[in-house]
């Protein structure tokens, strides 16, 4: 027999015969009404688990990871407020159900079954995933990536305090809210989780408010691998900045009592706490997992004998809150109701087409207060001596700095976070003076952990800020990229656009720093960003474009809730000259504040019809150097700056090469997985114009004299262009 059936039969038999597991007497402030409500939540959670298996067998349900054994978390929900944002472990159906009981107008069984059935009417994901989550209950949906929700829970908790100091227009969390995030005992070991605990401790150690309740549901195992006995307590009971609470999750009275203490600590002290709940896991990890294949049968049966619902029946009876016969009736009625609702739910529509699935990749626009921009006085005060310098052409890093200043003046909800962005003003000085201009609340010097930086940004965005996190170098995105790829980018998708985390992530990157730094400071691969659905990847080639594009990026984040990555070519930050020393050919005046470059608009320099060079970033700079040489050689060229690497501005590019006899793609990213692959495909599919490409090698970048050896050069571009033109004659 299926172990879910065994557990079910055990429950019926043991309650009927009064054979209930022993344990401590009910103690603490849980009232009779609340206790029965918590029990009801557990019964519904259990019934849903059984139903999900039945639906899967019938081909009507598609995912069966369950919550059985973890029903005690309903008592944690009861200790919290429904406005306390909760990032939940996948075993927390009972939490969500208990929370629904705190909010009027909820139809939680119906809603959750819609999710099991992948119905397009599922109120959280619109049928995209069987996932816990609810906008009305302040439960953002989670991906199934272990621990990846912890960094943003830290960010959201930080954002509660931050919003008290600077009110964001789209604030979501009440000032006295706390954040809760739960996870399993095995997940607690994940480096992402460890980073979040450390960041929470690091923050509270400095007395910075961080009202966050970590809830570790310790069932002693992760799929088939046991957690060493005592490991969670040993690991977490003495962490600096993190107060430890523990309780027996099989006892709803104890769980409610300790969870209430922990919650009060977090809410009143605005400090993080770690609540360690002992639970059990009934019927294996998920549907197809049979625990008796890796655990002794006696051990599995011993756990089953500790069924928390059986414990609750005993506790409720001892507390005089509910007779066992009534508990049994609730259990049976709940099962019957779930079967009835499920019969109805499977008739509801499901997603069918690609368009339906993809409808939530791009988040909805939101209404923002109009702004006229900062006053002349505010600008004069902020810019000070820089005002005078604005009359002269400047290098890119300076123009980015000014654009950031104007954006922060105009939008008080813009905040920046990163390693060394504040006091130092960034490794390359791009954020210099912003700390003095806007203070440490808006220029956050973070600890050294990219996952925490991005988690902070995601969490702050969920409370209405427009974060502009910085990753110091492109190569250091990779140890944290799941925060963008798995978390930020998927949130609108899995929440049907109800939760978003708009941001403009600035990353300094690409190659060509003269002899400095080698690969890690000159990473020239953007493949990992280009294939993320919905993500906008921008890359300016000069300071004026950078300023105008940044304004558009902030607008896209603020008004359209988009996830934007702004890739800044480090080698072009200080670039002054184009063709000859001191020609100042790469400096630009600061564009007037209302000038922007809209998403998808490419730059076209020249109007030559012999050759269109299509490129971006450093490639654009190098191509502009070859333009004159090509003209001298009789080739009339135009140079197209893509500016927007993803999504590919296809129509604008096709338009920009119109009338050219040849197209040369110059791509400083790698041959494999580089931008040129997409451009080759585009021009093959959409034009009849012969085209060729010059790209970087499939190599890492060396330091020293060979720093540029693996990437396109001005000479190389010239030679490739002449080759291509030769083929024309």
Q: Nearest distance from residue 296's CB to Mg ion, in Å?
A: 18
Q: Does 278 bind Mg ion (CB under 5 A)?
A: no
Q: Does 159 bind ligand TPP (CB under 6 A)?
A: no
The residues annotated with a catalytic role in the active site are 521
Q: Does 185 bind Mg ion (CB under 5 A)?
A: yes
| Contact assessment for residue 313 and residue 15, using Cβ atoms and an 8 Å cutoff | yes
Q: Which of residues 200-229 bind ligand TPP (CB under 6 A)?
A: 217, 219, 221-223
Q: How far apart are CA 570 and CA 359, in angstroms?
A: 36
Element (H, E) at 422: none
Q: Nearest distance from residue 634's CB to ligand TPP, in Å?
A: 58
Q: Does 186 bind ligand TPP (CB under 6 A)?
A: yes
Task: Pick one of 117, 146, 508, 639: the residue that binds ligand TPP (CB under 6 A).
Answer: 146
Q: Closer CB to ligand TPP, residue 143 or residue 462?
A: 143
Task: Pick one of 9, 107, 144, 333: the residue that binds ligand TPP (CB under 6 A).
Answer: 144
| Contact assessment for residue 458 and residue 149, using Cβ atoms and an 8 Å cutoff | no
Q: Closer CB to Mg ion, residue 10 or residue 219?
A: 219
List the structure tokens of 149: 């929700």
Q: Does 219 bind Mg ion (CB under 5 A)?
A: yes
List the structure tokens of 32: 């009779």
Q: Nearest distance from residue 244's CB to ligand TPP, in Å?
A: 18
- Annotate 290-306 with three-state secondary structure: CHHHCCCHHHHHHHHCC
CB neighbours of 47 closer than 8 A, spacing ≥ 6? 331, 334, 335, 337, 338
**Segment interacting with ligand TPP, rule: CB under 6 A, options 125-133, 144-152, 317-325, 713-721:** 144-152
Q: Does 184 bind ligand TPP (CB under 6 A)?
A: yes
At which residue do the structure tokens 């529509």 appear? 349
Q: Nearest distance from residue 147's CB to ligand TPP, in Å?
A: 7
**Segment interacting with Mg ion, rule: CB under 5 A, options 217-225, 528-536, 567-575, 710-718:** 217-225
Alpha helix locations (H) across 230-323? 231-236, 252-269, 297-304, 308-318
Task: Pick one of 50, 53, 91, 257: the residue that binds ligand TPP (CB under 6 A).
Answer: 91
| Contact assessment for residue 440 and residue 389, using Cβ atoms and an 8 Å cutoff | no
Cα angle 197, 486, 674 (rounded to 5 degrees) comes to: 125
List the structure tokens of 585: 């050919």
CA-closest candidate to residue 421, choices 406, 395, 451, 401:
401
Q: Which does 144 bind (CB under 5 to 8 A by kind): ligand TPP, Mg ion, none?
A: ligand TPP
Q: Closer CB to ligand TPP, residue 193 or residue 474?
A: 193
Element (H, E) at 77: helix 73-79
Element (H, E) at 200: helix 191-205
Eight-state DSSP code of residue 558: H
Q: Does 299 bind ligand TPP (CB under 6 A)?
A: no
Q: Which residue is nearest to Mg ion (CB)?
A: 184
Q: Closer CB to ligand TPP, residue 186 or residue 665?
A: 186
**Segment interacting with Mg ion, rule: CB under 5 A, options 34-42, 215-223, 298-306, 683-691:** 215-223
Q: Does 41 bind ligand TPP (CB under 6 A)?
A: no
Task: Pick one of 42, 184, 497, 649: the residue that binds Mg ion (CB under 5 A).
Answer: 184
List the structure tokens of 666: 């110059």
Q: Closer CB to ligand TPP, residue 284 or residue 425?
A: 284
List the structure tokens of 307: 């069924």
**Sheet bearing 503-509, strands edge to edge:** 443-445, 414-418, 466-471, 503-509, 563-569, 536-538, 644-646
**Segment interacting with Mg ion, rule: CB under 5 A, options 84-92, 177-185, 316-324, 641-649:** 177-185
Q: Closer CB to ligand TPP, residue 35 or residue 221?
A: 221
Q: Closer CB to ligand TPP, residue 264 or residue 302?
A: 302
């Amino acid at each position: 027999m299926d172990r879910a059936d065994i557990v079910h039969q055990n429950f019926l038999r043991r309650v009927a015969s009064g054979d209930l597991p022993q344990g401590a007497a009910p103690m603490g402030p849980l009232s009779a009404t609340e206790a029965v409500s918590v029990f009801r939540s557990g019964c519904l959670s259990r019934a849903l688990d059984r139903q999900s298996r039945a639906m899967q067998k019938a081909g009507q349900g598609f995912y069966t990871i369950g919550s059985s054994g973890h029903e005690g978390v309903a008592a944690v929900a009861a200790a919290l407020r429904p406005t306390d944002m909760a990032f939940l472990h996948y075993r927390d159906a009972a939490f969500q159900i208990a929370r629904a009981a705190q909010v009027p107008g909820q139809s939680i069984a119906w809603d959750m079954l819609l999710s099991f059935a992948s119905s397009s009417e599922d109120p959280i994901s619109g049928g995209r995933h069987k996932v816990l989550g609810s906008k009305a209950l302040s439960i953002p949906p989670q991906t199934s990536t272990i621990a990846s929700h912890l960094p943003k829970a830290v960010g959201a908790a930080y954002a509660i305090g931050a919003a008290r100091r600077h009110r964001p227009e789209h604030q979501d969390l009440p000032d006295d809210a706390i954040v809760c995030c739960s996870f399993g005992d095995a997940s607690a070991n994940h480096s992402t989780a460890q980073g979040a605990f450390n960041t929470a401790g690091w923050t509270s150690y400095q007395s910075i408010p961080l009202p966050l309740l970590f809830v570790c549901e310790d069932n002693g195992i992760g799929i088939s691998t046991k957690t060493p006995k005592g490991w969670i307590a040993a690991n977490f009971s003495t962490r600096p900045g993190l107060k430890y609470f523990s309780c027996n999750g099989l006892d709803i009275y104890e769980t409610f009592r300790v969870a209430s203490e922990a919650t009060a600590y977090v809410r009143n002290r605005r400090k993080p706490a770690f609540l360690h709940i002992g639970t059990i896991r009934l019927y294996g990890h998920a549907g197809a997992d049979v625990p008796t294949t890796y655990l002794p049968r006696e051990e599995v049966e011993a756990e089953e004998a500790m069924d928390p619902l059986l414990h609750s029946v005993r506790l409720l009876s001892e507390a005089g809150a509910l007779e066992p016969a009534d508990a049994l009736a609730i259990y049976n009625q709940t099962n019957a109701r779930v079967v009835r609702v499920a019969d109805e739910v499977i008739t509801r529509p499901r997603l069918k087409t690609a368009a339906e699935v993809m409808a939530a990749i791009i988040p909805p626009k939101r209404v923002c207060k109009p702004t006229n921009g900062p006053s002349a006085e505010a600008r004069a005060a902020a810019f000070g001596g820089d005002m005078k310098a604005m009359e002269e052409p400047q290098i890119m890093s300076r123009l980015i700095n000014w654009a950031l200043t104007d954006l922060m003046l105009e939008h008080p909800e813009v905040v920046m976070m990163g390693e060394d962005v504040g006091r130092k003003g960034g490794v390359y000085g791009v954020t210099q003076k912003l700390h003095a201009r806007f203070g440490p609340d808006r220029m956050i010097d973070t600890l050294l952990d990219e996952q925490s930086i991005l988690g902070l940004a995601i969490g702050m965005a969920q409370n209405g800020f427009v974060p502009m996190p910085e990753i110091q170098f492109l190569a250091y995105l990779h140890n944290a990229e799941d925060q963008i790829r798995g978390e930020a980018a998927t949130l609108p998708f899995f929440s049907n656009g109800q939760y978003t985390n708009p941001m403009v992530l600035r990353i300094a990157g690409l190659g060509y720093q003269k002899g400095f730094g080698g690969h890690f400071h000159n990473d020239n691969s953007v493949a990992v960003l280009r294939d993320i659905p919905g993500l906008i990847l921008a890359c300016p080639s000069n300071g004026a474009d950078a300023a105008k594009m940044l304004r558009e990026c902030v607008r896209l984040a603020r008004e359209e809730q988009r996830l934007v990555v702004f890739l800044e070519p480090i080698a072009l930050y200080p670039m002054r000259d184009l063709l000859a020393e001191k020609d100042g050919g790469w400096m630009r005046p600061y564009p007037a504040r209302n000038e922007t470059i809209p998403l998808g608009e490419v730059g076209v320099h020249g109007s030559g019809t012999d050759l269109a060079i299509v490129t971006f970033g450093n490639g654009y700079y190098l191509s502009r150097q070859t333009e004159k040489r090509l003209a001298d050689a009789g080739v009339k060229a135009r140079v197209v700056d893509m500016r927007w690497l993803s999504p590919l501005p296809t129509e604008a590019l096709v338009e920009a090469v119109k009338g050219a006899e040849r197209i040369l793609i110059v791509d400083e990213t790698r041959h494999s997985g580089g931008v040129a692959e997409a451009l080759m495909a585009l021009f093959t599919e959409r034009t009849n114009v012969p085209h060729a490409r010059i790209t970087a090698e499939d190599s890492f970048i060396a330091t020293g004299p060979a720093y540029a050896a693996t990437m396109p050069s001005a000479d190389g571009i010239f030679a490739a262009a002449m080759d291509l033109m030769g083929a024309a004659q």
